[in-house]
Structure 1
């Protein structure tokens, strides 16, 4: 398992095998990429494997979706069909969490993403993800909210219905059993 942000050798091998299996089953997500190159990058960045493991453990089913040719980094995104179960029922950020008087959730999206070591998807990244499959047909996912909206107490979320990506708003203090967040990790 993992201790203090590090994975055991056994868990590292399990995770890499799981990621390879997912890579092989979902080639449409990364047609131009080759697994040996991805695996080499993963093994050279052991500290990032802990974050990938946390993405997996919270139900995100991370998969590699692109390569940044400028930085050489692979981008992993949560590709679970529905929003990750282990990250649901969270309000948007610490300010919203602290402002709740009753029925506080256990954490906020922004805080949990930071704890895991991942970034929240932007609206553009969420729309790009939907080009790789159909995600959030029954759930929704918080997305990175522009500062001007957040300053007014709002937060954005998105889902996929009727063959369309919809972006909506809620108060940042709200939380729902069917809403989590999708993250990305550059390795």
Structure 2
């Protein structure tokens, strides 16, 4: 059990770091220039970020290191599950979209879940970058951060991978599907 709302117990921390290390070593193609010991050191210094990574893991995201920002000196983690994280599907895009549904409202929305987890939803550019590291969302789709001018008109965008390429589409922000979730990004 967590020792506080956004901090992991010692046991939870050890278990998560072991999972992340195994995933890191198994998927070296995602981060061939990065040294795990430096990532682990950064994780140890950021307990709240570890909590967020644990939330990504608990909801099926399989977070992994996908890059390093040389300016901010932060490691970049993204959800690398083959399909959109199962524990974050069947959500409208945002609260406004959720509230606009007259019938069959889902329990929550992608933007608020991401915020509660301490992560950001991937942008279209980040999603395309992720797809260069493997094939993701071949059966599912993921909400993507939507430009304010599109959102103002009631829409939101999502992406998937079909027919050997990435597709970006739009939908009403109030829509939700059992196969659509969202992918998060976290800088540590």
Which residue of structure 1 aligns with residue 183 of structure 2? 182
Moved over 6 A (4+): none
Which residue of structure 1 aligns with residue 15 of structure 2? 14
Q: Cα RMSD (Å) of the superposition?
A: 0.6
**Residues 106-117 of structure 1: matches in 2 within 5 Å?**
106-117=107-118
Structure 2 unaligned spans of 5+: none
**Residues 1-187 of structure 1: matches in 2 within 5 Å?**
1-2=1-2, 3-187=4-188
SS for the counterpart of 2:156 is: strand
State TM-score, norm by structure 1: 0.99
CA shift, 1:47, in A, is 1.3
CA shift, 1:101, in A, is 1.4
Structure 1 unaligned spans of 5+: none
SS for the counterpart of 1:52 is: helix
SS for the counterpart of 1:89 is: coil
State TM-score, norm by structure 2: 0.98
Q: Distance in 2 between matches of 1:70 and 1:167?
A: 29
CA shift, 1:116, in A, is 0.3
SS for the counterpart of 1:97 is: helix
